């Protein structure tokens, strides 16, 4: 992994230690620490200041495909090809529990604060004192077996299970009750957790896999396997295309203030500067 100076593209740090592919990485809220997951089934925490790996989590039996950070980051969640989602304690570098065991690859995970109207259930056992910030949080799992699963992060109790048209690749929360999830056949499902049986809407722009979804202002950004990347604002009333990838899959989108970053299979990270939408 590489850390770049965003303003001028200068390479600042190289984080080396994973074996095989690194599938996902994200900064902790502090901006000084990085969380990564790889095909070596390891989850690692790095110092962005000196590039050292300070913690390695082991326990998954398959590659880690996505991660989520709970609150300020004392706990993190990982989803793996082994079909499990796990909750980790960063301070003691220990697994606090298997939140879900799906029997199918978990391609994407998201953690969101639940609206007060949503019943997340009660934990069967007293939560560990090492669990921090899991109360009133939902965990969303995008699964390879065409299922989108939502459960209470602390309670481990099911909230809903939605069956889509194809494998789910990615998911994100838009609010305390609205969420998005993208499938391999190009569908973007918008669901309301309070009545998840019927989607609020299904957006389909092409049959290419939806690879990344990100809440953005009062809409979202999506990227697909055909190189398309677009911003949707205010219930599809306004749409902006980000060009440049030219048919290569855009794997991931990230934002910082008015800037959008995309990472593409062609080996380029592109930066887009937005004026006010």
Contacts 24+ apart (CB under 8 A), 267-272: 269/4, 270/242, 270/244, 270/245, 271/6, 272/242
For 35-45, the pLDDT digits (tens) are 999 999 999 99
Judge whether 57 and 30 are in contact, CB under 8 Å: no
**Residues 223 and 209 occupy one common structural domain:** yes
For 2-48, the pLDDT digits (tens) are 999 988 889 999 999 999 999 999 999 999 999 999 999 999 999 99
**Residues 26 and 147 occupy one common structural domain:** yes
**Residues 190 and 268 occupy one common structural domain:** no
**Residues 113 and 156 occupy one common structural domain:** yes
Q: Which residue, of 186, 204, 222, is where some domain finishes?
A: 204
N- to C-terminal Cα distance for the chain? 32
pTM of the model: 0.95
For 158-183, the pLDDT digits (tens) are 999 999 999 999 999 999 999 999 99
Q: Which residue, of 204, 222, 239, is where some domain finishes?
A: 204
Domain total in the chain? 2
Residue 267: domain span: 205-276
Q: For residue 204, what are the β-bridge partners?
A: 187
């Amino acid at each position: 992994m590489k850390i770049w100076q965003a303003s001028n593209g200068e390479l600042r740090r190289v984080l080396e230690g994973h074996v095989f592919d690194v599938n996902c990485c994200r900064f902790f809220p502090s901006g000084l620490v990085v969380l990564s997951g790889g095909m070596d089934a390891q989850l690692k925490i790095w110092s962005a200041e000196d590039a050292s790996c300070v913690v390695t989590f082991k326990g998954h039996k398959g590659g880690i495909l996505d991660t989520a950070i709970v609150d300020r980051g004392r706990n993190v969640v990982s989803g793996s090809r082994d079909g499990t989602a796990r909750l980790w304690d960063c301070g003691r570098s220990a697994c606090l529990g298997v939140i879900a065991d799906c029997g199918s690859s978990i391609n994407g995970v998201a953690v969101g604060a639940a609206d007060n109207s949503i019943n997340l259930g009660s934990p069967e056992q007293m939560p560990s004192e090492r669990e921090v910030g899991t109360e009133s949080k939902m965990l969303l799992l995008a699964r390879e077996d065409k299922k989108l699963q939502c459960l209470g992060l602390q309670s481990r109790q099911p909230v809903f299970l939605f069956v889509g048209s194809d494998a789910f690749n990615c998911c994100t929360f838009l609010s305390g009750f609205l969420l998005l999830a993208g499938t391999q056949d190009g569908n973007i499902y918008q669901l309301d957790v309070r009545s998840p049986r019927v989607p609020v809407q299904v957006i389909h722009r092409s049959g290419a896999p939806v690879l990344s979804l990100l809440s953005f202002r009062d809409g979202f950004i999506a990227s697909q396997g055909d190189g398309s990347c677009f911003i949707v604002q205010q219930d599809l009333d306004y749409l902006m295309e980000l060009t440049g990838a030219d048919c290569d899959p855009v794997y991931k989108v990230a934002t910082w203030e008015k800037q959008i970053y995309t990472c593409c299979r062609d080996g380029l990270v592109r930066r887009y500067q937005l004026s006010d939408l």
